[in-house]
Chains A and B, each alone.
Chain A
Amino acid sequence: MKSQTAEKKYLPDMPQKEIEEMNATVKSASAKIIADNIAKMKKTDPNRPAAMRYFDEVSDFFGMRQKEIQAAKAQGKKVIGYLCVFAPVELILAADAIPVRVNSGWYDTSKFGDRIVPVEVCPVIRSTIGAKMINLSPYLELSDAVITTLTCDGMTKFSEILSDVKTVWTMTPPRVKDSAQSLHLWKEEIKAVKTQIEKLTGNKITPKKLKEAIQTMQKATKAFRRLQDLRKGNPVIMGRDAMLVNQMSMWDDIKRWTEKTDALCDELEKRVAQKAWASPPDTPRVIVTGTPMFWPDNWKLPTLIEEATPRGLLVGDELCSSDRVLYDPVGVDEWTMDDMINGIAERYLMASTCPCFTSKDGNEDRVNWLINKVNETKANGVIYYVVRGCILYAMEYARVKRALDKINIPVYYLDTEYTREDVGQMKTRVEAFLEMLSARVDF
Chain B
Amino acid sequence: MITAGIDMGIQTVKVVILKDGVAAGKAKAFSGFEPTKAAEQAFAQALQLANVKKEEVSMVLATGSGMDMAPYSAGNVSMMGADAKAGVFLFPSARTVIDVGAEEARAVKCDERGIMQDFVVNERCAAGAGTFIEAMARALEVKLEDMGPLSLKAERASPINATCVIFGESDVVSLIHRQESKPEIARAVFDSMADRISSMVHRLGINPDVVLVGGVAKDVGFIESLKRKLGISVLVPEDPEYAGALGAALTAASRKKGASK
Residue B80 interfacial (CB < 8 Å)? yes
* Inter-subunit contact B116/A436 (CB<8 Å): yes
B69 within 8 A of partner (CB): no
- Bitwise, B65-91 to A at CB < 8 A (1) or not (0) is 100000000001111110000000000
Question: Judging by beta carbons under 8 Å apart, are B118 and A432 in contact?
Answer: no
- Annotate B93-129 by CB proximity to A: 1 below 8 A, 0 otherwise: 0000000000000000000000111111101100000
| Interface contact A428-B115, CB-CB below 8 Å | no
Label chain A's interface by main secondary structure.
helix
Please state if A435 and B77 are interface contacts (CB–CB under 8 Å).
Answer: yes
A280 to B121, CA, bound (A): 29
Chain A hits for B120, CB < 8 A: 413
Contact B124 A410 (CB under 8 A): no
Contacts of B124 in A (CB 8 A): 415, 422, 425
Q: Report how far A398 CA is from B120 CA in the complex, Å.
A: 13
- Cα–Cα distance between A429 and B121 once the two chains are bound (Å): 8
Number of A-B contacts (CB under 8 A): 43
Residues in B neighbouring A425, C-beta threshold 8 A: 124
Q: Flag if A439 contacts B115 (CB, 8 Å).
A: yes
Q: Which of B78, B117, B123, B203 contacts A428 (CB 8 A)?
A: B78
Among A410, A429, A432, A435, chain B packs the most CB atoms within 10 A around the CB of: A432
Q: Given the interface contacts A410-B118, A424-B65, does A432 sit within 8 Å of B79 by beta carbon?
A: yes
Within 8 A of A (CB), among B108-167: 115-121, 123-124
Closest Cβ–Cβ distance, residue A313 to chain B (whole Å):
18
Alpha-carbon gap, A435 to B79, bound state (A): 11
User: What CA separation (Å) do A362 and B124 show in the bound complex?
Assistant: 30
Could you show 27 A-B contacts with beta carbons less than 8 Å apart? A309-B76, A410-B117, A410-B118, A412-B119, A413-B120, A415-B123, A422-B124, A425-B124, A428-B65, A428-B78, A428-B121, A429-B121, A431-B78, A432-B78, A432-B81, A432-B116, A432-B119, A433-B119, A435-B77, A435-B80, A435-B81, A435-B116, A436-B78, A436-B115, A436-B119, A439-B81, A443-B115
Tell me the A residues contacting B by CB distance below 8 Å.
309, 398, 410, 412-413, 415, 422, 424-425, 428-429, 431-433, 435-436, 439-440, 443
Given contacts A415-B124, A428-B78, A436-B115, 13 further A-B contacts (CB under 8 A): A309-B76, A410-B117, A422-B124, A424-B65, A425-B124, A431-B76, A431-B78, A432-B78, A432-B119, A433-B119, A436-B116, A436-B117, A440-B115
Residues of chain B having any CB pair with chain A under 8 Å: 65, 76-81, 115-121, 123-124, 203
